[in-house]
Amino acid sequence: MILEKISILNYKNIGDVELQFSPKVNCLIGNNGMGKTNVLDAIYFLSFCKSCTNQADSSVINHEAQYMMLQGQYTRRDVAEHITLSMQRGKRKRVKRGDKEYKRLSQHIGLLPLVMVSPLDWDLIRGAGEERRRLMNHIISQGDAVYLDALIRYTKALEQRNAMIKNEYRDPLLYETVEAQLCQAAAVIHSAREQWIAQFGPVFMRYYQAIAGGREQVEIIYKSHLAQATMQQVLGANRERDYIMGYTTGGVHRDDIELLLDGHSMRKTGSQGQCKTYTIALRLAQYDFLKHNTGITPLLLLDDIFDKLDASRVESIIDAVSDKRFGQIFITDTNRTHLDEIINRLSDDYMMIAVDHGACKPIVEGGVQS
């Protein structure tokens, strides 16, 4: 899949920009805080109908504007796709594929597969289990509409059950319908996550070894209440505790991924460089997973990936992303040397774009100065 062109209007600090992209490598160069990440975030928003920062939708609209609009022209499986996403302050997002507006945003998820490596990925290591569940959901739902539907149904049923608990309903018979919905959706979610970890884990470990030079052993383990019991059994066993706590304490909404380095928790023992390597390996494995399971080559967005890494790991990452199996790449950096090295290895077909206070100007295209 290729993003041919993007139009950005009133998105964060970007006023009005239209960019044509190379089908291979697109580099955004500029000082920190100039808007490089905002360009990547606009591309991300077109795929997922939300910011990569998970901030409130209204916060992405330029402070001096009342609306924002993003338009992307793609080639997907040799077919042109035009996506328009617009939003006014205080109103809902509107997303169109061609001239047809989606009734539900979930219908759009998975159409434009994308993987983004970001400094925010640090939360995957140091953050709570919610961050790692979000990773699982983000990866699996892009290629599995049944899983995404199960997530939506589970979340709705969980909210209903929690409301009943807070309203002090105590008769188990009153919970039968909502718990049946929870159990049905939980079975789909748990099964998909088990299948995902079996496929994803070995690919992740190969990427980590390639970047770290084989010096460390890593592992990811899926942890779930449903590993030893059904959802119905979990609900039954925790019922009295749920009444006391005021919410549903057990289920797939409490799942987690244990991240290990040489048999120990990465969160507790990993250095900054090791944690950064871990998150990059997770994202590159995500790329392979999506490409294999969707049959579409995702976009790869690399935001400030070289920070906190020693020279050998930087070299290994450049080697990894230089592999021909990667399709269109967007990469930001303040260091022109890193970008030039990637370009030299990857392709003669590239675009270099300077970003300064939200203004974007192509400076080099395919090796020719603009």
For 121-148, what is each residue's pLDDT tens digit?
889 998 899 999 999 998 999 889 999 9
Beta strands in the chain, from DSSP E residues, in sequence order:
2-11, 14-20, 25-29, 67-76, 79-88, 94-97, 100-101, 114-117, 218-223, 256-261, 264-265, 299-303, 329-333, 350-356, 359-365, 368-369
Determine the structural domain holding residue 24 and report its residue range. Answer: 1-113+296-370
Would you say residue 262 has pLDDT above 70? yes
Among residues 311, 303, 323, 217, which one has the least CA distance to residue 273?
Answer: 311
Answer whether residue 278 is part of any domain: no
Would you say residue 68 has pLDDT above 90? yes
Pairing relation of β-strands 100-101 and 114-117?
unpaired
Question: What residue numbers does the annotated binding site cover?
Answer: 30-37
- Label residue 347 by pLDDT band (50, 70, 90): low
Answer whether residue 247 is part of any domain: no
- Average pLDDT estimate for 255-273: 92
- Average pLDDT estimate for 74-100: 95
Answer whether residue 202 is part of any domain: no
Would you say residue 158 has pLDDT above 70? yes
Answer whether residue 272 is part of any domain: no
Number of Cβ within a 10 Å radius of residue 223: 12
Question: What residue numbers does the annotated binding site for ATP cover?
Answer: 30-37
Would you say residue 365 has pLDDT above 70? no
- Label residue 20 by pLDDT band (50, 70, 90): very high
Answer whether residue 49 is part of any domain: yes
Q: ∠ at Cα 7 (322, 12), nearest 5°?
A: 90
Answer whether residue 222 is part of any domain: no
Answer whether residue 285 is part of any domain: no
Predicted pLDDT at 314: 78
Question: Where residue 327 sits, what CATH number does that domain have?
Answer: 3.40.50.300
How many angstroms separate the CA atoms of 320 and 308, rounded?
18
Q: Are 28 and 355 within 8 A, CB to CB? A: yes
The count of structural domains within the chain is 1
- Average pLDDT estimate for 112-117: 94
Claim: this prediction has a pTM higher than 0.85: yes
Answer whether residue 193 is part of any domain: no
Q: What is the DSSP letter of 227?
A: G
